[in-house]
Amino acid sequence: MNAERDLLPLAPGVVRALNDKLYEKRKVAALEIEKLVREFVAQNNTSQIKHVIQILSQEFALSLHPHSRKGGLIGLAACSIALGKDSGLYLKELIEPVLTCFNDADSRLRYYACEALYNIVKVARGSVLPHFDVLFDGLSRLAADPDPNVKSGSELLDRLLKDIVTESKQFDLVGFIPLLRERIYSNNQYARQFIISWILVLESVPDINLLDYLPEILDGLFQILGDNNKEIRKMCEVALGEFLKEIKKNPSSIKFAEMANILVIHCQAADDLIQLTAMRWMSEFIQLAGRAMLPYSSGILTAVLSCLSYDDRKKSILEVANVCNQSLMKLVIPEDDEMDEARQLTTLLAHELDITALNQPLFFPCSCERIQVTLNLDGIVQVLDCHLHDTSIGMMTRIAVLKWLYHLYIKTPHKMFRHTDSLFPNLLQTLSDESDEVILKDLEVLAEIASSPAGQTEGHGPSNSSDARPSPVELHVPDRAGQLSMKGLECLPSTPTMNSYFYKFMINLLKHFSRERKLLETRGEAKCHGSWQGIIFNAVKSGARDTSSSAH
């Protein structure tokens, strides 16, 4: 009797029916509870309403007995139906015990929990949004449920919740992002599908701006793009495509810098789809953000250069990588050589952005109009030198590296000459390359170094003393008969305006031929003869011009 009294206002018959193993009897009990709660609503008897919900929660939904838990779930759903629009006042008490049952070992009970929560959410509609995080968390777990009936029930609830979010203007995106960021790294394909479906829904809502939080989920999206399931890959590809469209529409508000390194990582992915997609994003970022991408140029080059030697099997990646490479190269301008690196400004964007064509305002990564942008020349040169030294890289990559070095010596000669001592040995070694095209590009770089006026001002030139003369250099040069002859070769008298690398280039080239007889025989003849002579002649002519002008 005491037990029955503790469960009042639920009648003994209702209590017995709620504990019954038969669904039909539990349903009859639920109808009685609905009628009882309606009476309390009409009387505005909130204390009794709370008491009924508490009984159904503590004594039934959270009971150790499985049939009691099922009775509690259907009873809580009945309460929500009876409360109607007032259910929002009791949602926490209604939802929490149901969500607890999502973890039940009994699949039938998990299904009934889905059914109960569906009825609660359907009645409450927008009132459930303050509890969205816990609902989403529960649904994300059920999305990967092994039981097909539970999955089916969770999908119905999921669609209902998506409808509510879509039609509402009160969605708490800030509170949702941490949960999304956590769940997006799930390896379960159903959980991934669930996450992507929600991202697609949120992207479609005009009042929800996911772009502000894209840096927090972009890495996870690229991870999902590599899923083994084709449907999930396609969904993720669509989601990324939509994000990129929005970025193009509104580049001024995009946090390019926060996503640059994420793209660098995925541009080097083994998965072709991930690599191609990341490379396309990188290409767009360079076009839209311009010089704001310069601080990440060494990482971008690391990712892009190796792709330039891809064959037709990866033609699409090769093409986009070429665009990235060319666009990045255009960002380096003569002003980079003149200004102190720590004070370069994004006002230089006008040099590489066709503003009229873009029909967009200049991009600034922060609200202030003058933001420091640094050309990380040391990092770029380190990447280029590393690739130049790597004999395993493809011919087109080697050519691209040499084109970069030539471009940097043209645009930023004074800063590049600080690196010449370290680059010079590798450039000379590259003269032994198997490719004529590589050798010719290499000669262009060497000729530019040898003839550049910048070499006269960076402390590389000979002493200013009129008495200073370099010591003779002994070279063993093959004669026409194939015999080695010894000849003392002395550098010309030094002058304040002479580029010392002119001498180093010519002397080392002769040394190179002396050491590598085969190189002289194969590369010194008709096939490359004209081109070598032309390039070397230009360097000699430039050096002679410098000597002549200094004499005057």
Say if 336 falls within a structural domain.
Answer: no
DSSP assignment of 475-502 equals EEEE-TTS-EEEEEE-PPPP-TT--HHH
Say if 272 falls within a structural domain.
Answer: no
Contacts of 544 (CB under 8 A, 6+ apart): none
Domain end, chosen from 86, 107, 125, is at 125
The structure tokens listed for 174 are: 């800030």
What's the predicted TM-score (pTM) here? Answer: 0.80
| Residue 303 identity | A
Question: How many domains does the chain fold into?
Answer: 2
pLDDT at residue 535, rounded to an integer:
54
Domain end, chosen from 125, 154, 180, is at 125
Per-residue pLDDT for the chain (552 aa), expressed as one digit of tens each? 335 557 889 999 999 999 999 999 999 999 999 999 999 999 999 999 999 999 999 999 999 999 999 999 999 999 999 999 999 999 999 999 999 999 999 999 999 999 999 999 999 999 999 999 999 999 998 998 999 999 999 999 999 999 999 998 888 899 899 999 999 999 999 999 999 999 999 999 988 999 999 999 999 999 999 999 999 999 999 999 999 999 999 999 999 999 999 999 999 999 999 999 999 999 999 999 999 999 999 999 999 999 999 998 999 999 999 999 999 999 999 988 876 544 444 444 433 333 333 333 333 343 333 456 778 899 999 999 999 888 888 999 999 999 999 999 999 999 998 999 899 889 988 888 888 899 899 989 988 888 887 776 444 443 333 333 333 333 344 444 444 343 444 444 334 455 666 767 777 766 766 666 666 666 655 344 445 555 555 544 444 444 333 333
Residue 345's DSSP bridge partners are: 372
Say if 351 falls within a structural domain.
Answer: yes
Say if 72 falls within a structural domain.
Answer: yes
Helix residue ranges, H only, 306-394? 315-330, 335-338, 355-358, 377-389
Say if 118 falls within a structural domain.
Answer: yes
Domain end, chosen from 100, 125, 150, is at 125
pLDDT at residue 520, rounded to an integer:
60
Helix residue ranges, H only, 172-227? 173-183, 189-204, 214-225
Say if 162 falls within a structural domain.
Answer: no
Say if 176 falls within a structural domain.
Answer: no
pLDDT at residue 389, rounded to an integer:
85
Q: What CATH code is carried by the domain that includes residue 107?
A: 1.25.10.10
Say if 111 falls within a structural domain.
Answer: yes
Q: How far apart are the C-alpha atoms of 388 and 398, rounded to whole Å?
A: 6
Domain of 543 in residue numbering reads as 342-547
